[in-house]
């Protein structure tokens, strides 16, 4: 079978490798679609820890082709989404229920072979069923949606909350929708792209703003601004130093800032601790998808989340390397690898 292999930092190759064989508790899954994520680009550039050589791709959906001898919950022919993050269940963090913080965390597509391939191995406990009639490309949004769900859960958005979403990429546009579903009545999307601001409005943003405008913070929090006094919740989805630095100032007194965007490991920003203290801002990180993948699958299966406008292009495995090695194209939201396209 064909697989997109990270051989070393900065070195991706399309290789012919042996079709994997599932062990007793695993599924062999024929990949239908796998999203290209900013994390794949960080992995390529050595900005996110991994273990090459490995097949990349952690946002996949596909059809079960073969089941291990002990598998009971799945059968050949079923469509599944895989939760790529495999925790050990035994370490102190797992035993506290904080499985995303597992010290032995192994991720499909990062530490073990992933979904930019004709086939991927998925442990049964990481698989969640999707409907037969779902567009498989939509199924590939379960993983990023599960990560967004964790961020929205940590933010404790309530009915009537006000929310600012920084960044109009796939994460930002999923968070806008989740914030509305969680009951937020004001959702302000702040992103540079006019096209993404327009799309954000169709997906539930009640207002939008351009972070490049002079004094964007004043324009939002001033008495005649979009959210006078600031937002209950600010969710940073861009992974950009400038917006992380803006985020506390956009929160109201006692408000919450959630960091969901991924910045390169080692990058630094400037934050004013006195401001966090004086206005009692809660600043929290949100890492991957602890116990949220099933809910994400249900949200995708039910159609409660609109992912169709987030799909920018479908490409084959042979085009994946160029797409991962380069920044997303201007205006691109999500490129998806569909292995059977070639
Ligand atoms: Zn991802
Ligand atoms: Zn663990």
Query: Residues 310-328: pLDDT tens digits?
Result: 999 999 999 999 999 999 9
Residues 193 and 63 in one domain: no
Kindly name the residue from 42, 58, 138, 293 that is annotated as catalytic.
42
Residues 280 and 333 in one domain: no
pLDDT for res 265: 86
Kindly name the residue from 9, 39, 150, 159 that is annotated as catalytic.
39
The number of the ligand nearest the C-alpha atom of 148 reads 1
Residues 9 and 44 in one domain: yes
Instruction: Note whether residue 26 is domain-resident.
Output: yes
Instruction: Note whether residue 300 is domain-resident.
Output: no
Instruction: Note whether residue 295 is domain-resident.
Output: no
Residues 105 and 156 in one domain: no
pLDDT for res 264: 86
Residue 335 has pLDDT above 90, yes or no: yes
Residue 109 has pLDDT above 90, yes or no: yes
pLDDT for res 336: 98
Specify the pTM.
0.96
User: 92 C-alpha vs ligand 2 centroid, how far in Å?
Assistant: 7
pLDDT for res 80: 98
Residues 163 and 84 in one domain: no
How far apart are the C-alpha atoms of 59 and 83, rounded to whole Å? Answer: 8
Residues 13 and 119 in one domain: yes
User: 91 C-alpha vs ligand 2 centroid, how far in Å?
Assistant: 4
Instruction: Note whether residue 221 is domain-resident.
Output: yes
CATH number for 262: 3.40.50.720
Residues 330 and 268 in one domain: no
pLDDT category of residue 212 using cuts at 50, 70 and 90: confident
pLDDT for res 236: 98
pLDDT for res 49: 86
Domains: count for the chain = 2
Residues 337 and 225 in one domain: no
Residues 132 and 158 in one domain: no
User: 257 C-alpha vs ligand 1 centroid, how far in Å?
Assistant: 21
CATH number for 101: 3.90.180.10
Range of the domain at 234: 147-285
- The pLDDT tens digits for 231-272 are 999 999 999 999 999 999 999 999 999 999 999 889 999 999
User: 292 C-alpha vs ligand 1 centroid, how far in Å?
Assistant: 14
User: 218 C-alpha vs ligand 1 centroid, how far in Å?
Assistant: 33
42 is catalytic: yes
81 is catalytic: no
């Amino acid at each position: 079978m064909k697989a997109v292999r990270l051989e070393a930092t900065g070195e991706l190759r399309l290789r012919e490798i042996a079709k994997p064989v599932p062990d007793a508790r695993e599924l062999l899954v024929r990949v239908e679609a796998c999203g290209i994520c900013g994390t794949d680009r960080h992995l390529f550039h050595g900005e996110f820890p991994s273990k090459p050589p490995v097949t990349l791709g952690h946002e996949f959906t596909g059809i079960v082709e073969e089941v291990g001898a002990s598998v009971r919950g799945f059968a050949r022919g079923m469509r599944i989404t895989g939760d790529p993050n495999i925790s050990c269940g035994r370490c102190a963090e797992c035993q506290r229920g904080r499985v995303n913080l597992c010290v032995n965390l192994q991720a499909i597509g990062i530490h073990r072979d992933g979904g930019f391939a004709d086939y991927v191995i998925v442990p049964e406990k990481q698989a969640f069923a999707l409907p037969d009639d779902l567009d498989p490309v939509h199924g590939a949004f379960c993983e990023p949606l599960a990560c967004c769900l964790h961020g929205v859960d940590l933010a404790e958005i309530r009915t009537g909350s006000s929310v600012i979403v920084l960044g109009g990429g796939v994460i930002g546009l999923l968070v806008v929708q989740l914030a509305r579903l969680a009951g937020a009545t004001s959702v302000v999307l702040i992103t540079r792209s006019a096209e993404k601001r327009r799309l954000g409005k169709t997906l539930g943003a009640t207002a939008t703003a351009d972070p490049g405008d002079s004094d964007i913070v004043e324009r939002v929090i001033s008495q005649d601004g979009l959210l006078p006094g600031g937002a209950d919740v600010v969710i940073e989805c861009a992974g950009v130093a400038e917006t992380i630095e803006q985020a506390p100032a956009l929160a109201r007194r006692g408000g919450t800032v959630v960091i969901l965007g991924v910045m390169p490991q080692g990058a630094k920003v400037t934050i004013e601790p006195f401001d966090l203290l004086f206005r009692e801002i809660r600043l929290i990180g949100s890492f991957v998808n602890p116990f949220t993948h099933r809910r994400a699958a249900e949200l995708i299966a039910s159609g409660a989340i609109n992912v169709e406008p987030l799909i920018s292009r479908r490409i084959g495995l042979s085009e994946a390397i160029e797409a991962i090695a380069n920044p997303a194209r201007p205006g691109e939201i999500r490129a998806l690898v569909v292995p059977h396209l070639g």
